[in-house]
Amino acid sequence: MLCAYPTVKYVQIQDSRLVCLRYTLLLAIAFYVGFFEMFALGGWLDPSPVVGVVRFSLQQPTVDNCDPSLPGCDNAFSPVDTMPYCKQYYSRNNNKTEYKGHVYPCEIYEAASAQLINEKSLTVMTRASTTEQEFVCPASTTGSCPNTYNNTSPAYKFYVHQSESFTVLIDHAVTASKICTAHQQQQLTTDGTPHAVNYACSAESAAYQGRLYSKNQHLCQQEAKKQNAFYDYRSNFSTDTAPCYINPNRTQTSHQDFFSLNVLLQAAGVNSLDDCNINNDNGDNKCQTFRDTGATLLLNVFWSDFVNYRGVVEPHYYYSPQLVGTSSYKQFIPFYHGHYRSNRTLLNAHGIRVAVLLGGEFHMFHSVTFLVTLTTALGLLAVATTVVDSLMLYVLPEKDRYNQVKYDEAVIEADDAVSSTLRAGWGHLRQVNQNLMTMNNNHNNNNNFMGMSNNTFTEDGPQEPNNNAVMDPYLQQEDNDNNNQSLVDPLLPAGAAGTTFQMNERPTTDPSYSNE
């Protein structure tokens, strides 16, 4: 039926199997929503992303990691001729080396000369080349300048000695602006006393513990021997298998994190700077190592104040290094000497660029977030009904009987107010139409009857037509003095004209009439 309305029919089925299954599913869903979604995953909390700033500092290898700016702090460089990538080592071994990359002379640089610092990145020089140049393009009338500088000496290429042993200090701080705004609005109670705040809105790395994520098996085993490799960035369970989390070195006074460049590279999956980055195709079995080409190392810092199954805790963070594959990095730096622009030394520096990306979330309770998570998760309750109905209709032996009971097709004409009104209106219109047709027929019949009865008959014979005869049988006599008017019986059939009785007259043959 085109205008049929399907609706739900509720049937109560006494089947213990279906009842047990339904309540089991409802309990499981309630446990999932209440324990897992709300408690374990923090569905009642509103996350707020953090933003922050970072500061870098580079230090050359020193004895016991002392501060080289303090008196009595000595460098801890190894002899240059002991490094296989150095030309000094090549010369000491009768021009023989098994190094798989290019061999260049090694120069000892301190941190101030080996670092290139930008806003959110630090570059540690690993290889460089210097070129002496002179200015050859003074102002002239021609206005053209094919070459600005000419080289006065060939480029001198060298490695920065033991650059992987330099340590990188990272100091960072983050803030969650949405939570801080909420704290400012709730900072004072009605009596003006400070209000206790239970949610963090900002944090500094020096005040909290962080760890370095490593996926290098060799590094995890080395740190496990020092009891410094852990299963998780929050737990105290040690492990010697990758991946692991490593505690950073910290300065004694300011408690700031620092790592050696070699540890950061190993945590990112590179064993050393001497691993091949780009393979050459010239057939000399040599490659361009990371020490030669440089690379970009992304150091992601994730902040959080939430732990699964524990809820909101104090802020914590961890570092996750990632090396951009087959990347290289270099930067040109001019050093002018003598008269300005007349002579310069152009430094072409290659190195490992450490770029820090700060991210993470802090959390606080928010009623809207709680309600949205709750109502969304409770939508799973419909799954219990769907599973039970499917089992009842398609699996159980009584499925045919259950199908007959559940699905029942019945056509019922609703006796509602609209239908009753329409039927009553339609019946009234039909009755009015029938009455009009009846009155029209009676009117036509009466006209025919009057046409025949205008010629009246008396006992003495036919008389002249009485023009005062009443034509409408439903009109009543208004003037009783008009005795000459004739009255026609409306009950006479059409065409049956009878004797017309005059008022105040009677048939002479009827003895029942007498004058009053």
Q: How far apart are CA 123 and CA 297, in angstroms?
A: 10
Looking at residue 220, its pLDDT comes to 96
* Range among 32-36, 113-117, 405-409 rated most confident: 113-117
Whether the per-residue pLDDT at 510 is higher than 50: the answer is no
**3-class DSSP state for residue 25?**
helix
Looking at per-residue confidence, does 249 or 98 come out higher?
249
The residue extents of the domains of the chain are: 16-39+380-406, 43-139+146-209+247-371, 429-516
* Mean pLDDT of the region 436-459: 59
* Mean pLDDT of the region 470-490: 42
Tokens 């195709």 belong to residue: 281
Looking at residue 208, its pLDDT comes to 93
Q: How far apart are CA 385 and CA 8, in angstroms?
A: 14
Residue 417: band (very low, low, confident or very high) from pLDDT cuts 50, 70, 90: low
User: CB–CB of 52/358 below 8 Å?
Assistant: yes
User: CB–CB of 84/98 below 8 Å?
Assistant: yes
User: CB–CB of 134/123 below 8 Å?
Assistant: no
Q: How far apart are CA 229 and CA 211, in angstroms?
A: 9
Q: How far apart are the two ends of the chain, measured CA to CA in Å? A: 78
* Mean pLDDT of the region 395-407: 85
Looking at residue 470, its pLDDT comes to 42
CATH topology of domain 43-139+146-209+247-371: atp-gated p2x4 ion channel fold (2.60.490)
Whether the per-residue pLDDT at 403 is higher than 80: the answer is yes
Looking at residue 507, its pLDDT comes to 44
Tokens 């080592």 belong to residue: 89
As beta bridge partners, residue 151 has 133
Number of H helices, E strands in the chain: 11, 22
Looking at residue 359, its pLDDT comes to 93
Whether the per-residue pLDDT at 238 is higher than 90: the answer is yes
Looking at residue 69, its pLDDT comes to 87
pTM for the predicted model, two decimal places? 0.68
Looking at residue 41, its pLDDT comes to 81
Whether the per-residue pLDDT at 60 is higher than 90: the answer is yes
The one-letter amino acid code at 322 reads: Q
As beta bridge partners, residue 311 has 307
**3-class DSSP state for residue 307?**
strand
* Mean pLDDT of the region 233-245: 92
- Average the pLDDT over each of 21-25, 237-241, 440-444 and give the range with the smallest value: 440-444
Whether the per-residue pLDDT at 229 is higher than 50: the answer is yes
Looking at per-residue confidence, does 158 or 38 come out higher?
158
DSSP 172-227: EEEE-HHHHHHHHHTSB-TTSPBPP--S--EEEGGGS-EEEEE--HHHHHHHHHTT
Average pLDDT, the chain: 80
Looking at residue 2, its pLDDT comes to 60
